[in-house]
Amino acid sequence: MNYNYINLKYNRHALTEYALNSTDINWELVSKEADYWIGSLKTREFVKDIVDGIPNTTGGVLFFKNAPQKPHIDRTRRSAINFPLNVPSKFFVAKEYPSPWFDEKVQERDPYNISNAGSERTKKVLIYNLEADSEQFNEHFYVKRSIDCAYALNVAVPHGALNKTNKDRYILTVSYDIPYSELIERLAGMNKLIDDPYAKFSNLR
């Protein structure tokens, strides 16, 4: 299914305050055009309870500000667990991939504008020229609510986020270099998988 909500309580308000004010985070501007920032943690002490409640990772534990809304595929990680923080928004992920439909829409390029050209994040990613929330978009993507429940995501297929508020969107994200299917197996073994907590609002826009 390429996404799954997970049962893990966290204090999104405290994490938002931490993201906004802590000196333990190194913020790096990744895209001027999108005002996209990545915050690297100097220490994981503040997020220890979260990290201890999910499968071990050798990947990064990062904050994102205004993560990309255009459909894309990550090149430096294969799966992730995201923790929405400050705004109600939506995430989307491909229903079936690869497919001829996606092949027609792909643009391979480097969307980032950062100074350290040797960084792993300068690697080209697959960007898709698609208009979010169009009829075709909803036919090929799961579009799910993202408010106060963590979710696992397959970032090796087209995915992204929608933020229709006038606020910057912050999330905490934990990266994995294992396939999404393996991440889901590990979460299932920890009894962390849950049904969509927003299903009763599925008819609302």
pLDDT digits (tens, 9 = 90+) for 25-38: 999 998 888 889 99
Q: What is the pLDDT of residue 22?
A: 97
* Structural tokens at position 36: 């996209």
Are 169 and 67 in contact by the 8 Å Cβ rule? The answer is yes
Which domains, and CATH codes, for the chain?
3-195 (2.60.120)
Are 86 and 163 in contact by the 8 Å Cβ rule? The answer is no
Q: What is the pLDDT of residue 116?
A: 40
Residues of the chain below pLDDT 50: 112-124, 203-205
Q: What is the pLDDT of residue 131?
A: 66
Sign of the CA dihedral with 54 first, then 58, 63, and 68 last: negative
Q: What is the pLDDT of residue 137?
A: 86
